[in-house]
Structures are given as structure tokens and as C-alpha cells.
Amino acid sequence: MAFGQSAGPAASNRQVTELLELLQNAGHADFKDARGPMGFNQRQAAGRFTADEAQELIDQLQQAEFEADQQAEAKGSLERKQKPKQADGAPKRNGVTDEERAAMERAVRSASTKSLVLEVRRRGWIVTKPK
């Protein structure tokens, strides 16, 4: 193998795009910005990965996002348990009281864009930045 060459087939454009998106969700601007924290070599900092490297990094970053979501959910459920229960006579619409709906809307409005995007992606939706 020649100096500076990767061992294995190159990552697909889809893998590189997904990896860049995950890195941006993690707070990095691009591959070069993530070089130190992620331990990328010079080739990887230029956005060139083998298919195996890219898949391994994608899995690692998705697992980190999943764990962050789980921690946020656990924290949210703990906060919900500490709130007093609704009176049985409270009016319900679609199985949710008006007070519960208002609390959910406040939570969504106060959540960061990043956490909202991660949650929507976790549910299987595709999210893009507005133009």
C-alpha cells in the first residue's frame, strides 16, 4: 500500500454526508474542526474515509445521540413525576388535558433547536435547515 492511501474501499457519498451531518449535530463545523476531538488523521480531516471507517464513526455518533436523548427523556420524566396530578374533573381533548398540552407546548418552545432536531430524527423524520 502506498503512503497516504487508505486500506479498503472509499466511503459512499451518502455515508460521508451522513457523517458530516452527525458531526455538525455534535457541535463541529466540519471534518477539520472535528480532527482533534474525534482523533481524525489528515486524510480523514479532508473528508476521505473508507467505508468501514465511516460506518464505525456513524454508529459511534448515533449511539452518542441516542444516549443523550435517553438522558433527556429520563430527566423529563423525573420532572413530570414531581408535578402534582390533574384533577379528575379537568376537561380532556384527545386524551390530554389543557394544562398538560400547555406544559408540552412550553417544553417544546424552551427546547433547543438541536434537541428538537435529534428527537424528530430519532422518530424517523428527515430534518433540513430552512433556506
Which of 15-29, 43-57, 60-74, 94-108 is the least confident region? 94-108
Share above pLDDT 70 across residues of the chain, in percent, rounded to a whole number: 81
**pTM listed for this prediction:** 0.55
Comparing CA positions, the residue from 17, 103, 107, 22 lying closest to residue 60 is 22
Distance CA 98, CA 104 (A): 10
Angle between helix axes 113-122 and 13-25 (nearest 10 degrees) is 140
pLDDT, residue 113, reads 83
Please report, as a single letter, which amino acid is at residue 90: A
Mean pLDDT across the stretch 4-11? 79
- Our CA angle for 69, 39, 23, nearest 5°, is 40
pLDDT, residue 56, reads 93
pLDDT, residue 127, reads 83
The model's pLDDT over 58-114, given as tens digits with 9 standing for 90+, comes to 999 999 888 888 888 877 776 666 655 555 555 555 677 888 888 888 888 888 888
